Amino acid sequence: MRTVSGRADHVVVVGAGFSGLSAALHLAGRGRAVTVVEREPWPGGRAGRRDIDGYLLDTGPTVLTMPDIIDEAFAAVGENTSQRLKLDALDPAYRAQFADGSSIDVHTDADAMTTAVRDFAGPREADGYRSLRSWLHRLYRTEFDGFIASNFDSPLSMLTPQLARLAGIGGFRKWDTMVRRHIADERLRRVFTFQSLYAGVSPQQALAVYAVIAYMDTVSGVYFPRGGMRALPDALAAAAQDAGVRFRYNSAVTELERSGTRVSAAVTADGDRIACDAVVLTTELPHTYRLLGRRPRRLLPHRAAPSAVVVHVGCGAAAADQPQTAHHTILFGDAWEQTFSDIVRDGRLMRDPSLLVTRPTASDPDLAPAGRDLLYVLAPAPNLSRRQVDWTSTTAPYAQSMLEMVRQRLLPNLRDDARVLHIDTPADWARQNMMAGTPFALAHTFAQTGPFRPGNLLRGIDNAVLAGSSTVPGVGVPTTLISGRLAADRVTGVARESATRLDLKAKMP
């Protein structure tokens, strides 16, 4: 495995998102001096925050999986998650509601989910769920260490027996094809393939290797940190600071000084110069290339993932309790496959919308004023690469149409007292310098998967490493935490496996 050359005693990490925090923890745990430079006054990166009249909004991801990866980050500095953070397992992980009026609670416990599937679709589908769950286990076990959690220097480095095993279990077939082998009910198939939206590709086009996201959601479990999603980056930053990492908030890096083929310092907008032996860059990919004065060496241009519209709503507690609303509810439209052609192929708004409705106050009432609830309503949307949607005129009516669907399908009492607190659209993500106005970074197409995704080392620059959603291994909270550890490995070499990581392997089926 290639690593940065020369000394790397002091590392500057640009960005305090999940990948930057993970890199800082792993580097500090290996004896490096680390300075993290963050443009916002708090950590989190894409896991943003906004406080409005007593409502504590998480403006980034709301679905948290794979707590073992979080454990690994804390363990890098000799801590464990429970010292810093209270994580609640969600049961159900999701509630899936369909346009025909049917619904199913998605449990991560195998027996509970088998019973739910049997009641929903009959014994044959329950048997199919069991076989699908077994396949997802094998898929995860086969690809995690060899592909998701490892650095590789070229496509040739992937030619291992693990690659043959992954191909043998169908990892390079289509995601939808592999799920169909086990599940005939079209509604149930959605439960195990909707996650392809995170990867930016329809389940009919996505490689089955990305069904590992369905493993994370439906087998490993979905969690929520007390205090909201912001509590996770806060806890990671606090652990890093106690381990000696220095943080410089409200500081945007605008320039990297170079000496030959090495970065020698990061310069902030205020003119501060922070000397370094190596740098980890977690900035948005276009900004990273500008800082380095480089252009990507690719035959095909980068393809961004679809985006999203997110509407944050405050409402009376009684309105959201109809009946006890799950923490996460997926409202599937009738024309599910059309959703992907609308967003990905045609660059248009969904004609038959599907929504994710998150009610964080179901798990932590303190995130809203007393007697009130907080809703996070997400609609997948096209990114700005086609620029077919005028968000200036579309935002308000589209947000209202989303809320009307929530009223009709989920919360009939969500009426006059509902208050729209904040809306984010692709145009807003773009103002945060996110490529093509999407918080989901690069799509996981074949040409942007594994060794074909932008790598975390750049030829011609000896001491710069990339981390974050647009490099390996990809999008999502667990994967960006892994990305930070992979960046640390590029600086120091692979560290001896921690007890936490060995325990994670031991728990694999």
Per-residue pLDDT at 498 exceeds 70? no
**Contact status, residue 15 vs residue 281, Cβ threshold 8 Å:** yes
Phi-psi region of 111 (alpha: psi -120 to 50; beta: other; left: phi over 0): alpha
pTM: 0.95
Q: How confident is the model over 469-497, as pLDDT tens digits?
A: 999 999 999 999 999 999 999 999 998 66
How many CA atoms, within 13 angstroms, populate the side-chain half-sphere of residue 137?
A: 13
Per-residue pLDDT at 355 exceeds 60? yes
Q: How confident is the model over 415-435, as pLDDT tens digits?
A: 878 999 999 999 999 999 999
Whole-number pLDDT of residue 507: 52
The CA-atom distances, in angstroms, between 242 and each of 29, 39, 367, 499 are 11, 21, 27, 21
Whole-number pLDDT of residue 499: 47
Nearest to 98 by CA among 379, 381, 330: 330
Q: How confident is the model over 97-114, as pLDDT tens digits?
A: 999 999 999 999 999 999
**Contact status, residue 249 vs residue 255, Cβ threshold 8 Å:** no
How many CA atoms, within 13 angstroms, populate the side-chain half-sphere of residue 399?
A: 21
Whole-number pLDDT of residue 508: 47
Average pLDDT, the chain: 93
Whole-number pLDDT of residue 324: 74
Q: Identify residue 256 by its one-letter amino acid code.
A: L
CA 445 – CA 202 distance, rounded (Å): 10
Whole-number pLDDT of residue 44: 98
Q: How confident is the model over 436-470, as pLDDT tens digits?
A: 999 999 998 888 888 789 999 998 999 999 999 99
CATH classification (class only), 1-92+221-302+443-508: alpha beta
Contacts with 342 (C-beta within 8 Å, 6 or more apart), sequence order? 348, 349, 350, 351, 382
Domain extents in the chain = 1-92+221-302+443-508, 111-220, 304-437
Q: What is the mean pLDDT of residues 19-31?
A: 98
Phi-psi region of 398 (alpha: psi -120 to 50; beta: other; left: phi over 0): alpha
Q: What is the mean pLDDT of residues 354-364?
A: 96
Q: What is the mean pLDDT of residues 66-86?
A: 97
Nearest to 305 by CA among 41, 504, 18, 46: 46
